[in-house]
Chains A and B, each alone.
Chain A
Amino acid sequence: MNAYIRPTNLAEATKLRAKAGSKILCGGTDFYPALGTAQPQGTIIDLTRIAGLDGISVGPQEIRIGACTSWTKLIASPLPPAFDALKAAGREVGSIQIQNRATIGGNLCNASPAADGVPPLLALEAEVELASAEAMRRLALSDFILGNRRTALKSDEILTAIIVPQQRARGRASSTFAKLGARHYLVISIAMVAVNLVRGDDGSVADAKIAVGACSAVAQRLRALEADLLGKPVAAELGRSAEARHLADLSPIDDVRATGTYRRDAALLLVRRVIGECAKGASA
């Protein structure tokens, strides 16, 4: 680490970021673990003292989550029911000690295939806001995370916020998350699923968004399954609509946590179960 700098506003931070060799630090919970035994290099820009990057605002068109918002703060925030999966995912990000420091923005920028925040945010069709000294741009989350630990963040950019559009489909929203690990708490996902449903006034599926994580380099939406659910009655049996073919695009790997074959089986079961739970939530 050549230098540690703690800017107090975004303009100052983006100016520092424009110089080569900087790294962003916020909650810091993955800073040392990701380095392993290597020494930190370059200039570290600490974002934690920049006002406006921390906190959530709910507007008529969209909900804005500051990149430096901690999981604890997100979980405690009053948000529409469509955010229940994201909150549930947050409760499974490490321990409370981690949730108090770790940020939503960090979870996305780390781009771990097992990042708990990604499937719920994909199911919310979230966008990210990226700032450089020159410009501000927005990108769909699905275009931001490019691969295992790879994102579209340029070396002079800072992720400043996650933007979620307000629900467009008319009806009652429900949102559910489930994560499979080798034990209940403090665990990295073998597979995880986020489902957002909207139950129309006629009791059928008006909108469905389903995302699976830890079963491919980047968490994926199951768009074919989403299309197949539309118009079906919202009931506990809805989960049975999911079939193996709907998960064909996943590419689960063998690793220390599970085999690819097991992941694929488990993901299908989880998808069915979470759709069923979510349907119950939408009709309760």
Chain B
Amino acid sequence: MSKPLKIKLHVNGVARELVIEPRVTLLDALREHLNLTGSKKGCDQGQCGACTVHVDGERVLACLTLAAQVEGREITTVEGLTPDGAELHPVQAAFLKHDAFQCGYCTPGQIMSAVACIREGHASSDAEIREYMSGNLCRCGAYPHIVAAVREAREALS
């Protein structure tokens, strides 16, 4: 076991201090140390996308990122998409409207990925949405509804 590190993470606009082993991933830091359990642990090896969060606005996999690596960066999780008490983010609203999930486990990752996908300008057609959302697996197979939700959210946000 290695010496614990004291790091400061900026999560959803709040500076949080934590003492962790350097091997702790961002996903474990969020879930186990900061009690932010919205980001899900699906495969824990970078294949499913359930742990997708934003680092400085870019979507990344929290399970492959060491928490220590993103010290000082701006981290956004599904809990921080909208300010406390605010209405749903347009992507969240579109997922509800289109019933874009079944079990819901992949949904926070899908939503974080979709927000970035639209912001990147990679949601101009259904084919493009499918390609640029391909890093988020849904084992319930809600894909057609997810594409519909992303399409509607893109229109709402443009």
Contact = CB atoms under 8 A, between A and B. Distances in A.
A100 B134 contact: no
Contacts of A185: 131, 134-135
A94 B22 contact: no
A240 B20 CA distance: 59
A187 to B, nearest CB: 10
A29 B64 contact: yes
Contacts of A29: 46, 61, 64
Contact of B66 (A2, A4, A100): A4
Contacts of B47: 186
Interface string A25-62: 10011011100000110001010100000000000000
A6 interface: yes
Interface residues of B, number: 33
Contacts of B52: 97
A2 B25 CA distance: 16
A186 B135 contact: yes
B66 to A, nearest CB: 6
A46 B45 CA distance: 20
A3 B22 contact: yes
A136 interface: no
B22 A100 contact: no
B59 interface: yes
A148 interface: no
B3 A3 contact: yes
A186 B131 CA distance: 10
A280 interface: no
Given A44-B22, A46-B69, A98 B46 contact: yes
Contact of A28 (B2, B58, B64, B113): B64
A31 B64 contact: yes
A259 interface: no
A3 B1 CA distance: 10
Given A33-B46, A95-B49, A95-B135, A2 B2 contact: yes
Interface in B45-67: 45-47, 49, 52, 58-61, 63-66
A185 B49 CA distance: 13
A11 interface: no
Interface string B104-141: 00000000010011001010000000011011110000
A1 interface: yes
A231 to B, nearest CB: 38
B134 A39 contact: no
A3 B59 contact: no
A241 interface: no
B58 A33 contact: no
Nearest to B72: A49
Contacts of B30: none
6 contacts: A4-B22, A44-B22, A46-B68, A97-B59, A97-B113, A98-B61
Interface of A: 1-4, 6, 25, 28-29, 31-33, 39-40, 44, 46, 48, 72, 94-98, 100-101, 184-186
